[in-house]
Structure 1
Amino acid sequence: MALDPVTNSTGNANLQAAGISQQDFLKILLTQLTEQDPLKPMDNTQFVAQLAQFSQLEQTQQLADTATTSLATQTASQAIALLGKTVTVSSTSSSGSSTSGSVTSISFSGNAPTLTVTPTSGQALTGVALSQITATH
């Protein structure tokens, strides 16, 4: 019983798309080793290739985690830099209108920060995404 190695450079994405986690991979590998025919042991080259694939999968996952953390940090820094600044916010409606106001607070829920923009006259806009900021003054 042999496992074919994933040869695509996005091995982690392929395994996740197939529904196979690292734990699943280790279980399959352990089962493969315990269930192999003693008269026909697994080819050493194939075994080493599978171990290398697992190592590459782990490194890819660590790289993806680092990139996600870096992106979240950059987004948070951008939001913090807007605190106290006057910005123009595009409307989410189809009218295409915009409002200018000062960023008075930032909340971090999930991965994306949301801003509260208070115009000089009118009610504060809450839940403003960074993508809605069209200009800073």
Structure 2
Amino acid sequence: MATNPIVGNVSDIINTNKNATTTQKDGSTMGKDDFLKILITQLQNQDPTQPLQDKEFIAQMAQFTSVEQLTNMASEMKLMRQSLGFVSGMIGKSITWDSTDSSGATVEKSGVVDSITFKDGNQYANVKGEEISLDKLKKIENPVESQ
């Protein structure tokens, strides 16, 4: 059994030890490993005569897991959306997007996608030499054939 019991609210402990337990790139948020370390410490120092006292902490852990899974799903969806298989199907399609002209006004443009390029982790549709970020697209459709 541990000799140093945790005293106080778990969120207070997390906030006071935040700098010591962060591993994220920006150093401002806790990662899942940090959270699990705190959980293990909490469980090791739990009062065996009051095992349900920390039910709020367990609820926070469940919420943390849910948020982590949602984040993972969002990342996977982004990767799926940006996969080469999806965007290569845009070649030959007519797209519509908003652009800013020389006077600063927003103008709606459209054209047929000639190719797809990748730069700095982002994908762009090329229409007559102009690169359009895929997140700027308003519409994708089959091109209208002239008769």
Q: TM-score range by the shorter chain?
A: 0.5 to 0.7
Unaligned runs of 5+ residues in structure 1 are: 6-15, 119-123
After TM superposition, give the deviation of residue 44 of structure 1 in Å. 0.8
C-alpha distance 87-19 of structure 1, shift in aligned 2 (>3 A): closer
TM-score by length of 1: 0.57
1:96 aligns with 2:84: no
1:22 aligns with 2:22: no
After TM superposition, give the deviation of residue 95 of structure 1 in Å. 3.6
C-alpha distance 27-116 of structure 1, shift in aligned 2 (>3 A): same
After TM superposition, give the deviation of residue 117 of structure 1 in Å. 0.9
2:124 maps to a residue whose letter is T
Alignment check: 8 A CA contact 1:82 1:103 kept: yes
Give the corresponding residue for 2:92. Answer: 84
Give the corresponding residue for 1:125. Answer: 130
Alignment check: 8 A CA contact 1:72 1:111 kept: no
Which among 77, 81, 84 is matched to residue 74 of structure 1? 81
C-alpha distance 46-83 of structure 1, shift in aligned 2 (>3 A): farther
Structure 2 CA distance for aligned equivalents of residues 49 and 84 of structure 1: 55
Unaligned runs of 5+ residues in structure 2 are: 1-6, 12-23
CA RMSD of aligned residues (A): 3.6
Give the corresponding residue for 1:116. Answer: 126
After TM superposition, give the deviation of residue 111 of structure 1 in Å. 6.2
2:61 maps to a residue whose letter is F
* Cα deviation 1:76-98 (Å, max 9, x = unaligned): 57643421123344323324345
Give the corresponding residue for 1:10. Answer: none
Structure 2 CA distance for aligned equivalents of residues 81 and 42 of structure 1: 63
Aligned length, in residue pairs: 117
Alignment check: 8 A CA contact 1:2 1:32 kept: no
Alignment check: 8 A CA contact 1:83 1:105 kept: yes
After TM superposition, give the deviation of residue 70 of structure 1 in Å. 1.9
